[in-house]
Amino acid sequence: MDKRTILVVDDSALVAEAVKSKLEASNYDVSLAYSGEEALDKIKEAIPDLMILDVYMPGIDGFEVCRRLREDPDTHTLPIVMLSSRGNIKEKLAGFRAGADDYLVKEFDLLDLPYRVKLVFRLRGMEDKGALV
């Protein structure tokens, strides 16, 4: 059975690696990008099953990456979970307006992350392909 693929995009290598480790322990195949530009390039090569996207990055921020993906016919249905250090309602609404499926504040508990990913897959009607959560 193939694993679900997840692209984690964060300009902090520490955050990206922590998220990757947690998701791999839950039986997902995870790749990393460290900027909005790199994420868009990687998606041109292979569209993941889900993207976890940092909001505030140098260059193209997560809001713009999300908008671009929603406008592209090849990626308009890609599930996107946004991550941010800012968790006020204004920021969250901006993420949802950009097209995010979920919005997590970076101080999130890593134990919760695989469950949130599983929930997004379920809400999108996508089989979870053996995640261990």
Q: Which pLDDT tens digit goes with each residue over 9-54? A: 999 999 999 999 999 998 999 999 999 999 999 999 999 999 999 9
Q: Is 7 left (phi over 0), alpha (psi -120 to 50) or beta?
A: beta
CA–CA dist 99, 23 (Å, integer): 23
Domains of the chain, by residue range, sit at 5-108
pTM of the model: 0.88
CA–CA dist 66, 80 (Å, integer): 8
CATH number assigned to the domain covering 5-108: 3.40.50.2300
Q: Which pLDDT tens digit goes with each residue over 57-111? A: 989 999 999 999 999 999 999 999 998 877 788 988 999 999 999 998 877 666 7
Query: b/e string for 111-130 if b means 16 or more Cβ within 10 A?
Result: eebbebbbebbeeeeeebee
